[in-house]
A and B are shown apart, each in its own frame.
Chain A
Amino acid sequence: MRGERISLELTGSDATAYALAASPGFAKDGLCFAATSGGLYRSTDGGDCWESLPIVEEQGAQMAATAVAVSPSFDQDRTVFAAVKGGILRSSDGGDTWFAAKFPAPPPLFTTLAISPYFAQDGLMLAGTMEDGVFSSTDRGVNWQPWNFGLFDLGVLCLAASPHLREDETILAGTETGLYRSTNGGRAWRESGFPSEFAPILSLAYAIGKDESLLFAGTEGKGLFISCDDGASWDRSAPNSLPGSVNQLQILYKPDGRAEIYALSEDGVLRSRDAGQNWEFLAEAEDPPTAFLVPDPSGEAMFLGLAGKGIVQYEL
């Protein structure tokens, strides 16, 4: 792998990068964020330098940020969200100032954030939690409500909003014991056709193809599953390349509309250019990988979070 270097060094044995997010205009503005056990970090130069953002202090140190998400219309609204224990913080100026939203006690532990692809129009955002199910906001993250009708498992590990959310209002939630599907923008949930014996579901992603949409679900220890019928039925994908856990998924659309799928396994990051049929290793990790991000559709660079180490930047 070319150009491997430590981009952000985190100290401490439990130092972990939980999530990474980049501005949609990363190629121009070089803006990206990292939610870590040491708080929230921001880089404005494509990951060369990172600054710790003073969001919430706990016992004299920055409180851990467990998730981060950037608005798809960041160019216009400069909106970023970060989850910390008990709350979600919102910035409307690219991370300079932050506002906290209120949540009911006991404080929820957020695991994931999902933003509507039509965020500029609908202001819809969802947050998954360890024990409180899904919270939803329809006013750009100012007010949040729990919406857990039909969600029997409140341990939500991942969320994915349909690329056609405006038409189908579909959102998926992966939990410890199965996959749930909402067809009304996250207000009510029904079990989907995913075989529950393969749960927990750690990662979800939609990929829009020319003729069909594909849905990917990464499990804990049981590989990657693909559905071609919007989650009604599932098939195991590439059991040899991805035999174990698939902790994170990312879909990247090339300028010609082709989708590339990136998956984070226990061993590193893999890429598929043929709808999940074949996979190639991009980065094999010596330390346990915790999160990754390919910030730019050109796919030339990648950030990889490694447990106890920090964030490593690769040139692909």
Chain B
Amino acid sequence: MDDKSLSLESHRSLWQDAARRFRKNWLAVGGLFVVIAFLILALLGPHIAPYDFLEQNIVNAFGGFTPEHPLGTDDLGRDVLSRMLHGARTAALVAFSTTAISLVIGVLLGAWSGIQGGRTDQFLMWISDLIQAMPGLLLVILINTTLRRPIINWFDTLYEQTKNPFYLNTLWLDYVLVFSALALIAWPGLARLVRGQVLSINEEDYVLAARALGASEWHIMLRHVIPNALGPLVVAVTASMGGAVTLEAGLSFLGIGVQPPNASWGSMLNEALRLWQVFPHLVLSPAVTIGVISVAFVFLGDGLNDALDPRRSS
């Protein structure tokens, strides 16, 4: 047993090495556990919630922490725990979709920029410079408010033409808008990262060798560039998911993101804040949850960064 592990140690892969380094960082491991718990709760949330998240009971509004309602009830007497669980689903959905969209855009444009070079590269990098120089929140607000109406109008015409009831439901439109707005500001970071990787890996001798053997650009991309860029990408994706969660909550806090009756931690915090002096206990659950999850994502990303990039961790 011992002999085996010893002999294995001599050729550990990059990922095994990273896992070993990651495990030593207890802050990052803690962050990982919180993130996993968050994702599980988001998945199971509506099924384990004690009440329906829309069920109102005005008589019992602003209830305190009781065995029936462990986190109290809000201004309409809705169970806060159930709403928090539903909000977890919103947050996780936004995190995944935003990251997926921006990952696709970022990787494609970044790779294109890096391979193409010249004018294309300059233009794409100028655009991403601009987006990154702007305050993200302001951009998201602008995009979110202005895109809403044309999409609703577009759906109306689609319904007129097809009579498909699918186009009548605009409840989930809030989500789509938040996803696209967040993705639009998130892609430049990923594109920059991929472009940098493409440029530096293209300099390597083994890429030159592959090219000399007649490998196509796409083959080089898939076989050499992407696997080598995976480490930094994992870090960036983690950061992007955490950023999406906090930005979504922030948007909803400002009253611009996910609209009622959909549940979001941000809007719950905003609603609770109106009467914070009288019912401070309602502020606690959303505020503490958002805080803990943001911190967990940052520590997780930081740990991954140190683990996957041995040169920078020292």
Query: Do the two chains belong together in a single complex?
Result: no
A: which residues have CB within 8 A of B?
A: none
B: which residues have CB within 8 A of A?
A: none
